[in-house]
Amino acid sequence: MNTHITMKEMPESEQPVEKCFRYGAQVLSDAELLAVILRSGTKSMTALQLAQLFLSQKDKNLLNLNRMQMEEMLKIPGIGQVKAVQLKCIAELARRITKTSRIQNVTLNDPKSIADYYMEHLRHETKEKLLLSMFDAKSSLLGDEIISVGTVTNSLVSPREIYLKALEYKSVHIVLLHNHPSGDPEPSEADINVTMRVMECGVILGITLADHIIIGDNKYISFRENGLLV
């Protein structure tokens, strides 16, 4: 006897799994993809309906995964701590996959390649983060470190901390990156002052500040490309 249940006979919350198995994940809608992750809904909602409810919040699309805090997610009926953690982990995995796929293209001589590499890491942040990216004599990326969280100003950014990290990694060149939560990467006066101060310290230590890149919402400004770094 054939006991196989067809897609139409399956509960709505399980349909995306069967659909994915038959045709591949690429055919699933955003809500169906999330339903597969969530796995279950509530007594009054299927997983698919819960996913649709999640997507109707805030940005009304998948950006909710990045831009909603866990506290906001927990206010949605049917999303508890475990589901909120699952959703944030999916967002983090997506960011890391994007970053990993771009690392081979990162070159010190191409500010766009650096901006692309860090774009998903920084563009969704709600606070300014200053990140130090370090390169060797062959312009290969050695690693990166977050230097500060908060407004980038002379009072918060310590050249000493930046160059201690650079020396620790045996860097020859460094690049500063930070995000503007507003989405507009236009540098402020404070951004320019910090850059000049860090660059001057680097001259003394023999470590070149090759660029300062400000990340906006899917766009960036490079001090080097715009002639702001002498």
Region 81-95: mean pLDDT is 93
Q: Kindly report which listed range (18-27, 93-102, 135-144, 164-173) carries the lowest average pLDDT score.
A: 93-102
- Amino acid sitting at position 26: Q
Q: What is the pLDDT of residues 190-219, one digit of tens each?
A: 999 999 999 999 999 999 999 999 999 999
Confidence check: pLDDT of 14 > 90? no
pLDDT category of residue 124 using cuts at 50, 70 and 90: confident
Contact between 130 and 214 (Cβ < 8 Å)? no
The pLDDT of residue 152 = 64
Q: What is the pLDDT of residues 37-49, one digit of tens each?
A: 998 888 888 889 9
Confidence check: pLDDT of 104 > 80? no
Pick the residue with more confidence: 5 or 198?
Answer: 198
The pLDDT of residue 9 = 52
The pLDDT of residue 201 = 95
